[in-house]
Structure 1
Amino acid sequence: MEHLRGDDPARIGPYTVLGRFGTGHAPGPPREPRYVARSADGDRTVLLCLPRTGADPARWAVEARHARDLSVPGFLPVDEVGGTAAAPWYAVPYVPALPLPDALAACRGPLPEPFVRVMGRGLAASLRAAHARGVVHAGLSPAAVLITPGGVRLAGFGAVRGAGEDGRHRGDVPGLDHSALPPEQMTGGRPRPLGDVYGIGAVLSYASTGHTVPQREEIPDGLRAVISACLARDPAQRPDAARLEALLAAVPAPASAPAPVPVSVPAPASATADGPWSGPAVHAAPGVSHVPGGRPATVIDAPFAAALPAPVAVALARVAAAVLAAGPAGPVPAPYDRPPLAPDALD
């Protein structure tokens, strides 16, 4: 979490902003602003997202409302959308998390291959479930991948759709990570499932080399064929999400791997026994439990937790402690979302 800058809002809707989410290590152009914030009574801590500079706020708000209605394992559970038509926002219950670029910064370089493989399997499983429901993420990039103690989560839903209409060349659209954008979407094509697979390829490239467009020889031997298949320019040459999950499961582990370091993080103020992202619940096998209303609750993905690199585990614990200790300071300027939201402003 970063300190607020001079142009950052101190309040968004009913929430007091505590700090910026992440530390700005993401490659490419600026992403949508994300903040850690807390309700006035201190009982609820959230991750708040705003439209990026240059984005169409109306289209962005439509994607936010769509995300609120989803229940897809591995996607951030958006549970509140507010603001005005010109200045919308959405909120996600907060759990300790690092954007993928911050995880690389914690490791001072690429992530270990065993962890990249397990992370990729988690991403592929989430997309397999989404695609089976007819949902396309349309925004996969390193900044959209969040590392939590219990598994990998996806943010940035609908970034490509929110950036502009289909048919428009997206090469000059601000805020999109063009190195992670499938060629067919770059030229204005509609986001489709195999475009998400291209995004996973860019994410795995970045995680394993530090670059979204690495030289082939930079990619670890055990991941080279899989990543190259994901990044095929012809969508028909890419594996679907289910096939990708199987390919990553079949990649042999290196002869030696660093011993995992367990991580223990405090539960956020918003965690409740029956709420979304409830406190850590260990399951015998990886999966997603569900709470009333269909929202996925937090689980511990055992293989993911076992492979979590020690520097990332330490960084997660520090982030959790910083958020628990954080509080508002100084004068509170006008809130981000005035005037009040009209009932149909985001329809």
Structure 2
Amino acid sequence: MNFASRLAEGQVLGGRYRIVRRIGSGGMSQVYLAEDMRLPGQRWAVKESFSQPGSRTAVAAEAELLISLNHRLLPRVADFFPPDGQGCCYLVMDYIEGMTLAEYMKENPGPLAAGRIISCAGQLLEVLQYLHGHRPPVIYRDLKPGNIMLTGGGDLKLIDFGIARSFRTGAGEDTEKLGTAGFAAPEQYGGGQSGPAADLYGLGALLLYMASGGIYSRWEPGMEAKLPGLPERLIPIIRRLLRYHPEERFQCAEDVLEALQPLLELPGKSRLTEGGHLDVPSRQRPVMIAALGVAAGLGTTHTSLAVSSCLARKGETAWIGLSPDSMVFDRIRSLLDNPPESADTAAAERPLSWKGIDFWACSAQDALSKLYEKNYDYIVADLGTGGYDGALEAFADSDIPLLLASGADWRLEDTLHWLRRSGLTPLTEICIGLPLASRSAAALLTSVLGGEIQVYSLPLQVNPFQRSGKLIGVLDQLLDGTGKLAVSAKRKRWFQKKN
């Protein structure tokens, strides 16, 4: 049943929370972005809910439950306005920027990378371990793509506790048959009371959904053949999570973590400590790809975006524009209907997530070094045409320095002069890309350089976020051909100086 909202843009709730805009809706609730008038710059999510007279305690129960919880992967509750005579109430909680897993998979068709699936599994098990560790256990009951918020850098948060409940010892089955079809455990529909194993079933459905590109959430005969990119060790774990009978599944999050331990202990992944808790070690530094143009108008930014889109298929990817006159961040923000803020201090702390890439604004000299410490597999830096302090140094110290030059014969000398002036000529690890140039132009420049530097012709691709095509094929070859999609062993002098 739908209800007419009582909130509108500009309205102030409780004399404190000014409504900015609606950001979500459901049959029984609306969610709004609000600004805190007492704490300038603080933003909250306001959930407006309606309930029938006989069930008006449901939202109050959600509020009480959330208030009692304290975990980094769960939203905090700041305020609560209990149901009035018409059953309308308001829950004020953390505003979490990002996109849901459902939105992400819609924008990025196809199976998720195995590393991302394993990372999500580890984080979800961490929060389930926390919830189930309460006495009585808190059963979430609605693990689904729409309730997983991706916040950037590979992190996530679990949102919407509308049907969570505490486990009741001795109860035969759930009083309310709630859950999302395809992700809810069978016992949530009358086969018994939902306990921790029900949430673990939902986890298995989510992992299968991610691994199959959103096609499957239930195990079927022959499913193994439909998951070619999944590590073999993960398949029996998912299969056991999706057993019909709760007693045949894993019985607790700790058991699943123990089974996942060999995968979680891969470089840069979380691992299980002796006490059964998830420990997140400092991961290896991400691979950095720096794009630099020898002149304006060569498509350096366009190429850097295409590189980011290419790498986003392989792992967590961040893009940052280091050129002082870069407008990409603001343009992406306008596409997301999120206009630039007057005081842009928050932009340096939070990325914009779009097309599977985290876009970061550059507002300080140490922006790149701070970004380097975050949980990314790849960082793509758009250096523009350089000409500012630290540009050439950052380019030389990157794992994959990609120089953009013209493929026109009459501009060949310009590229050679640039290399001599820059002092980078001995650096044979440079890759040179020639946008819109022919293969013969790339071959000519290669021969002039003595074959020591790899030169690639980059075909035309109007949309840099396109996930397939001739340009993507060349970029795959360029990135894989460097042998550096594993982290380079060379020291990062530039970053060390910044730390």
Shared fold (TM-score, shorter chain, > 0.5) = yes
1:69 correspondence with 2:68: yes
Deviation at 1:59, TM superposition (A): 1.3
Report the equivalent of 2:217: 212
Using a 3 Å threshold, how does the CA distance of structure 1 residues 205 and 94 change in structure 2: closer, same or farther? Answer: same
Does structure 2 conserve the Cα–Cα contact (< 8 Å) formed by 1:73 and 1:129?
A: no
Which residue identity lines up with residue 242 of structure 1 in the other structure? E
Deviation at 1:206, TM superposition (A): 2.1
Using a 3 Å threshold, how does the CA distance of structure 1 residues 197 and 259 change in structure 2: closer, same or farther? Answer: closer
Tell me which moved more, 115-124 or 84-93.
84-93
- Compare relative contact order (CA 8 Å, sep 6+) and give the higher one, 1 or 2: 1
Q: Could you tell me which of 5, 19, 22 is aligned with 2:22?
A: 19
The two structures have a TM-score, normalised by structure 2, of 0.45
Deviation at 1:80, TM superposition (A): 1.9
Does structure 1 conserve the Cα–Cα contact (< 8 Å) formed by 2:19 and 2:32?
A: no
1:159 correspondence with 2:163: yes
How far apart in 2 are the matches of 1:168 and 1:129? 22
How far apart in 2 are the matches of 1:91 and 1:263? 32
Report the equivalent of 2:77: 78
How far apart in 1 are the matches of 2:240 and 2:378? 24
1:144 correspondence with 2:147: yes
Q: Could you tell me which of 200, 205, 222 is aligned with 1:202?
A: 205
How far apart in 1 are the matches of 2:50 and 2:109? 27
Task: Spell out, residue by residue over 1:128-179, the C-alpha distance to the aligned partner (whole angstroms, 9 max, x if none).
Answer: 12222334223322222111125111112251549xx9845755x5xx3132
For 1:255-270, list aligned pairs within 5 A.
258=314, 260-262=316-318
Task: Spell out, residue by residue over 1:19-73, the C-alpha distance to the aligned partner (whole angstroms, 9 max, x if none).
Answer: 324xx9xxxx968543323234653211233448889442122122211121134
For 1:114-263, list aligned pairs within 5 A.
114-134=115-135, 135-136=137-138, 137-150=140-153, 151-161=155-165, 167=173, 170=176, 176-187=179-190, 189-209=192-212, 210=214, 211-213=216-218, 215=220, 216-217=223-224, 218-219=226-227, 220-222=229-231, 223-239=234-250, 240-251=252-263, 258=314, 260-262=316-318
- SS in structure 1 at match of 2:205: helix
- SS in structure 2 at match of 1:147: strand
Report the equivalent of 1:326: none
Task: Spell out, residue by residue over 1:97-151, the C-alpha distance to the aligned partner (whole angstroms, 9 max, x if none).
Answer: 2111011123133322210111111100111122223342233222221111251
Does structure 2 conserve the Cα–Cα contact (< 8 Å) formed by 1:72 and 1:130?
A: no
Structure 2 gaps, min length 5: 267-310, 321-328, 334-339, 342-348, 351-370, 380-464, 466-499
Using a 3 Å threshold, how does the CA distance of structure 1 residues 189 and 32 change in structure 2: closer, same or farther? Answer: farther
Deviation at 1:238, TM superposition (A): 1.7
How far apart in 2 are the matches of 1:34 and 1:45? 13
Using a 3 Å threshold, how does the CA distance of structure 1 residues 138 and 80 change in structure 2: closer, same or farther? Answer: farther
Tell me which moved more, 193-202 or 151-160.
151-160
Which residue identity lines up with residue 32 of structure 2 in the other structure? Y
Q: Which has the larger radius of gyration?
A: 2
Which residue identity lines up with residue 74 of structure 2 in the other structure? F
Deviation at 1:304, TM superposition (A): 5.3
Using a 3 Å threshold, how does the CA distance of structure 1 residues 95 and 195 change in structure 2: closer, same or farther? Answer: same
> Which structure has more strand as a fraction of its residues?
2
1:306 correspondence with 2:348: no
Which residue identity lines up with residue 107 of structure 1 in the other structure? N
Report the equivalent of 1:290: none
Using a 3 Å threshold, how does the CA distance of structure 1 residues 263 and 247 change in structure 2: closer, same or farther? Answer: farther
- SS in structure 1 at match of 2:142: coil
Which residue identity lines up with residue 59 of structure 1 in the other structure? A
How far apart in 1 are the matches of 2:59 and 2:99? 23
How far apart in 2 are the matches of 1:195 and 1:94? 28
- SS in structure 2 at match of 1:38: strand
The two structures have a TM-score, normalised by structure 1, of 0.63
How far apart in 1 are the matches of 2:27 and 2:238? 25
Report the equivalent of 2:42: 44
Using a 3 Å threshold, how does the CA distance of structure 1 residues 112 and 38 change in structure 2: closer, same or farther? Answer: same
Deviation at 1:92, TM superposition (A): 1.9
- SS in structure 1 at match of 2:377: helix
Does structure 2 conserve the Cα–Cα contact (< 8 Å) formed by 1:121 and 1:249?
A: no
How far apart in 1 are the matches of 2:230 and 2:206? 17
Does structure 2 conserve the Cα–Cα contact (< 8 Å) formed by 1:68 and 1:80?
A: no
How far apart in 2 are the matches of 1:197 and 1:130? 12
How far apart in 2 are the matches of 1:115 and 1:58? 38
Task: Spell out, residue by residue over 1:69-98, the C-alpha distance to the aligned partner (whole angstroms, 9 max, x if none).
Answer: 211342222222225241122122223221
Task: Spell out, residue by residue over 1:218-257, the C-alpha distance to the aligned partner (whole angstroms, 9 max, x if none).
Answer: 345423222111111122222221121233342498xx97
Using a 3 Å threshold, how does the CA distance of structure 1 residues 108 and 258 change in structure 2: closer, same or farther? Answer: same
Using a 3 Å threshold, how does the CA distance of structure 1 residues 53 and 202 change in structure 2: closer, same or farther? Answer: farther
- SS in structure 2 at match of 1:262: strand
**Identical amino acids, percent of aligned pairs:** 19
What count of residue pairs does the alignment treat as equivalent? Answer: 268
Which residue identity lines up with residue 36 of structure 1 in the other structure? L
Which residue identity lines up with residue 143 of structure 1 in the other structure? G
- SS in structure 1 at match of 2:243: coil
Output the aligned Cα RMSD. Answer: 4.2
